[in-house]
């Protein structure tokens, strides 16, 4: 499915060198070739697989041209007086040291000629001391993340363990990662990304757009692809790698499917679904059983009124069964230790809000601050904290916290107007527990409008500088990102 990576075996893991290259790629049989940016020259990048606790070292190398494929807005944070093409790789969902986390200001140019103020090392070290999970790597350079990811810089990173095979889930050729993204194209096959919003901004060109929706859907770098499958169970690791688009996925024959895992690993037990809502950067590990669908063409659909973006991909149940399907959907999957609210030493109320920037464009703020304001969240190493995301915007945002896997406690409606005038949270209803398919480890959470979304996390592993942000990339690039710092415990 994805090309294998040349690597050196280390005593306790592997060492890879991954080059970011500008290449031409055929994204649909009726499209001319498209110029994209790919890790090792492929979009999406090669899938990196490792066992838990085995170290993976990666030297991420920028071999990209000096000129960006897409229009760069020079007014955004980090893009004012820096090189036009900068890259830095974040392994999303990983518990990793700050030097290897891909801090947005740890960017580097071709040959590491220029580097950002947080740049610390050329070789990243992933120790993989965490639960088996579907992670993904993608670009995170300050102020141009939306453009770098849109150009193609994303790939899967799968951590496995020795327990999972005992669950007898569909595996091998029956386990397939699916990266779902939306893109638009120009007639010549090149990627289209708007140079300014529909209402031009006086004095700013190119200008960031408040949100971006492409008019075609790609899976693993192919526009509206099909997959021939056998009449049996398959495991699909679904990742929404889109800039802004949220999907609600269904199967066109009305068939149900089973979610077995979330961002950070397997759930306690499978959750039967007929629809799956997935926001940017979220992952859902699912099993689809095609055994009763022999000969059928089943479309993976998205709830949308537009026909183009209603279709995601097609499963054609046309392959003969190679052998008896002995895989299972076990009743129990993986024990999950619940973080205890009473153990939390800190509760933080963190607002999400939209405010006009100096050009009158809508920009975003977390905790009432912009990216360059000083660090305000400094959890102690090893401590448990509850973060209350207070969404004052009439729109859901996928909030991602680096370093940790957290648990969603609940969502509770509150009076937004009252909060705006008094700064007090007045709840207007009871707390709503997370959906059954959200009751696992998460690193990205749907922060719903008019509600306080509470998460609980243990800030463990490393001290240093990390970030938390909205994963709508157009928002992240326009100040919807904040630093946080894990500090040494007072008592150690
Ligand atoms: Cu957002």
Scored b (16 or more CB within 10 A) or e, 451-463 reads bbbbbbbbbbbbb
- Ligand 1 geometric centre to CA of 475 (Å): 5
Identify the pLDDT of residue 393: 97
Which pLDDT tens digit goes with each residue over 280-290? 999 999 999 99
Residue carrying structure tokens 């979009």: 43
What pLDDT shows up at residue 6? 62
How far does residue 303's CA lie from ligand 1's centre (Å)? 20
Among all chains, which residue has been given the structure tokens 């800039």? Answer: 243
pLDDT at 4: 54
Find all residues with CB under 8 Å of 151, minimum gap 6, and list them: 36, 37, 68, 69, 70, 191
CA 342, 344, 345, 350 dihedral sign is negative
Using the mean position of ligand 1's atoms as its centre, give its distance from the Cα of residue 86 in Å: 23
* Residues 426-439 pLDDT 10s: 999 999 999 999 99
Note whether 65 and 87 are within 8 A (CB): no
- Rounded Cα distance, 451 and 394, in Å: 10
Distance 211 CA to ligand 1 centre (A): 9
Distance 122 CA to ligand 1 centre (A): 31
Give 325's DSSP letter.
-
Q: Tens digits of per-residue pLDDT, 198-213?
A: 999 999 999 999 999 9
**In this structure, what DSSP letter does residue 111 have?**
G
Contact 107, 88 (CB under 8 A): yes
Distance (angstroms) between ligand 1 centre and the Cα of 477 equals: 10
Write out pLDDT tens, residues 349-362.
999 999 999 999 99
CA 208 to ligand 1 center in whole angstroms: 14
Calculate how far, in angstroms, residue 357's C-alpha sits from the geometric centre of ligand 1: 15
Q: Phi and psi of 386, rounded to 5°? A: -110, 125
Which band of pLDDT confidence, cut at 50, 70 and 90, is reported for residue 317?
very high
Please tell me the distance between residue 423's alpha carbon and the centre of ligand 1 in angstroms.
21
- In this prediction, residue 489 has a pLDDT band, given cuts at 50, 70 and 90, of confident
Sign of the four-CA dihedral 433, 436, 437, 440: positive
Q: What is the CA(395)–ligand 1 centre distance, in A?
A: 8
Give the distance, in angstroms, between the CA of residue 189 and the centroid of all CA atoms in the same chain: 26
In the predicted model, is pLDDT for residue 492 greater than 80?
A: no
User: How many angstroms does the Cα of residue 476 sit away from the middle of ligand 1?
Assistant: 7
Backbone φ and ψ for 414, nearest 5 degrees, come out as -140, 165
pTM, full prediction: 0.97
Cα dist. 10→55, 91, 125, 446 in Å?
8, 20, 12, 39
Residue 472 pLDDT more than 90? yes
**Residue 13 confidence (pLDDT):** 80
What is the pLDDT confidence band of residue 1, given thresholds at 50, 70 and 90? Answer: very low
**Model pLDDT for residues 114-169, shown as the tens digit of each residue:** 999 999 999 999 999 999 999 999 999 999 999 999 999 999 999 999 999 999 99
Q: Decide if pLDDT at 302 tops 70.
A: yes
- Cα 31 to ligand 1 centre (Å): 32
CA of 474 to the centre of ligand 1 (A): 8
- In the reported structure, the alpha carbon of residue 370 is separated from the centroid of ligand 1 by a whole-number distance in angstroms of 13
């Amino acid at each position: 499915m994805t090309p294998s990576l040349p690597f050196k075996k280390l005593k306790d893991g592997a060492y890879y060198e991954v080059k970011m290259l500008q290449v031409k790629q055929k994204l649909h049989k009726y499209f001319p070739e498209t110029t994209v940016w790919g890790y090792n020259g492929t979009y999406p990048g090669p899938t990196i697989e490792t066992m838990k606790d085995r170290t993976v070292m990666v030297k991420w190398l920028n071999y990209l041209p000096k000129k960006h494929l897409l229009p760069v807005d020079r007014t955004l944070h980090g893009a004012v007086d820096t090189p036009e093409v900068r890259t830095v790789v974040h392994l999303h969902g990983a518990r990793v040291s700050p030097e290897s986390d891909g801090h947005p200001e740890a960017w580097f140019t071709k040959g590491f000629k220029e580097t950002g103020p947080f740049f610390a090392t050329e070789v990243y070290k992933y120790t993989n001391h965490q639960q088996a999970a579907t992670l993904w790597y993608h670009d995170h350079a300050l102020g141009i993340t939306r453009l770098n990811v849109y150009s193609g810089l994303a790939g899967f990173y799968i951590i496995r363990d020795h327990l999972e095979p005992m669950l007898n889930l569909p595996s091998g050729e029956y386990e397939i990662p699916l990266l779902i993204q939306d893109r638009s194209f120009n007639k010549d096959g090149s990627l289209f990304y708007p140079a300014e919003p529909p209402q031009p901004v006086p004095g700013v060109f190119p200008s960031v757009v408040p949100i971006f929706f492409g008019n075609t859907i790609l899976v693993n770098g192919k526009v509206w692809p099909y997959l021939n499958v056998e009449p049996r169970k398959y495991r699909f690791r679904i990742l929404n790698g889109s800039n802004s688009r949220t999907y609600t996925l269904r199967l066109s024959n009305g068939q149900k499917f089973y979610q077995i895992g979330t961002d950070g690993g397997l759930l306690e037990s499978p959750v039967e679904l007929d629809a799956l809502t997935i926001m940017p950067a979220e992952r859902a590990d699912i099993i689809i059983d095609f055994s009763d669908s022999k000969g059928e063409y089943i479309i993976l659909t998205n709830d949308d009124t537009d026909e183009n973006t209603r279709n995601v991909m097609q499963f054609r149940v046309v392959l003969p069964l190679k052998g008896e399907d002995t895989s299972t959907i076990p009743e129990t999957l993986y024990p999950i230790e619940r973080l205890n609210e009473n153990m939390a030493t800190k509760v933080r109320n963190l607002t999400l809000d939209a405010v006009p920037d100096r050009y009158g464009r809508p920009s975003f703020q977390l905790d009432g601050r912009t990216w360059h304001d000083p660090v305000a969240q400094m959890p102690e190493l090893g401590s448990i904290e509850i973060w209350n995301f207070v969404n004052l915007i009439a729109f859901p945002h996928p909030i991602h916290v680096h370093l940790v896997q957290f648990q969603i406690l609940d969502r509770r409606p509150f009076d937004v107007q009252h909060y705006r005038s008094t700064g007090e949270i007045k709840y207007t209803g009871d707390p709503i527990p997370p959906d059954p398919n959200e009751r696992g480890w998460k690193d990205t959470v749907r922060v719903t409008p008019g509600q306080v979304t509470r998460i609980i996390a243990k800030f463990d592993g490393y001290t240093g500088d990390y970030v938390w942000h909205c994963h709508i990339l157009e928002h992240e690039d326009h100040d919807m990102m904040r630093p946080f710092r894990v500090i040494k415990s007072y008592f150690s």
